[in-house]
Homo-oligomer: A and B are copies of this chain.
Amino acid sequence: MLAQKTADLILAGDVRAAARLMRAVDDDLPGAVEVLKRLFPHTGRAWVLGFTGSPGVGKSTLTDAVIGAYRAQHQSVGVVAVDPTSPFTGGAILGDRIRMQRHATDEGVFIRSLATRGQFGGLTASTRGVVTIMDAMGKDLVLVETVGVGQDEVDIVRMADTTVIVVVPGLGDDIQAIKAGILEAGDIFVVNKMDREGAGRTAAELQAMIAMRGRKEGAPETWTPPVLMTCASDGRGVDELIQAVAAHRAVLQAEGGRLLKERRRARARMEILELVKNRAMTILLRRLENGQSLDLLAGQVACLERDPYSVVEEIMAHAALHD
């Protein structure tokens, strides 16, 4: 009943109800799922645009410029910034967020930050939940911004309809060290800070890597990822980036959206697996904690009295998850 009421409020565009639900999703509160279930049938209209890149490549400034460009086209925009924040590093992250504040008073822009979670926190699942809410709110575009290293981030950007990978020139081995999964997930590559020395070489290296890489699962054969140059701070190249996103979208939506459906099926598959993983771990952990046995078992392993592998076999047997 309450879940339906909250869902109705959000579908009617109530920003406060949406913000409350996003907090509940982030905190993994029990009631949140019931609302998400009701919102889900009303989603699928927003275009989900993923932005990723290492710290310092200027992702936030670029996201800011992209928001401005879409707003100029009268598109409504939701932003999910997934960030490795912490109490003592809050300053820098806040600094980034504040740069986006010029859109904070714009009703067409809704910005939400999510922090990286602990071991079984399910950042991917909560990001998807927030994207679902923004989609249900009627946003035309949802931008998901992550720091592009680590498996969580790969999973998150893989869930976008169009994934933009941002790099800067002159980070030495950095491009070569871009996480494989992320390179493979890129639909559009951007060399930001294009005035820096080596921008052309960086772009050429990316082109070479794209040519070398295998085609990713579900990627359209008619799409070769372009490598663009931008200067987010003065807006150069941003229009070309917006056009590239539109071109990629057009390819996915061609032929009745065949490629888009394929891509979203892969996304649904990942989302289901992610939710199953979180749920299974929540249940297993609760059982372990209730039994008060985990610390005891860890102590035995630390003293070499038992090996961790036998311990895990015992736990699995009790959890009725054995073969």
Contacts and interface: CB of A to CB of B under 8 A. Distances in A.
Given A119-B151, A177-B147, A316-B276, A88 B212 contact: yes
B151 A308 contact: no
Given A150-B151, A319-B321, A298 B265 contact: yes
A317 B213 CA distance: 40
A13 B89 CA distance: 45
A308 B56 contact: no
Interface string A42-53: 011000000000
Given A280-B321, A298-B268, A91 B176 contact: yes
A302 B268 contact: yes
Given A37-B310, A43-B304, A180-B86, A280 B279 contact: no
Contacts of A264: 302
Contacts of A255: none
A174 interface: yes
What is the copy number of this chain in the assembly? 2
A270 B312 CA distance: 12
A283 interface: yes
Nearest to A323: B283
B180 A44 contact: no
Interface in A290-318: 294-295, 297-299, 301-304, 307-312, 315-316
A103 interface: no
A19 interface: no
Interface in A79-125: 84-89, 91-93, 95-96, 116-120
Most B C-beta atoms less than 10 A away, residue of A87, A214, A309, A316: A309
A309 B92 contact: no
Contact of A298 (B88, B214, B266): B266
B276 A315 contact: yes
A265 B41 contact: no
B119 A275 contact: no
A294 B308 contact: no
A312 B275 contact: yes
A281 B280 contact: yes
B295 A269 contact: yes
A183 interface: yes
A177 B307 contact: no
Nearest to A128: B308
Contacts of A55: 54, 149, 171, 173-174, 177
B295 A284 contact: no
A214 to B, nearest CB: 8
A95 B177 CA distance: 11
Interface of A: 33, 36-37, 40-41, 43-44, 54-56, 84-89, 91-93, 95-96, 116-120, 147, 149-153, 155, 171-174, 176-181, 183-184, 209, 212-214, 261, 264-273, 275-277, 279-281, 283-285, 288, 294-295, 297-299, 301-304, 307-312, 315-316, 319-323
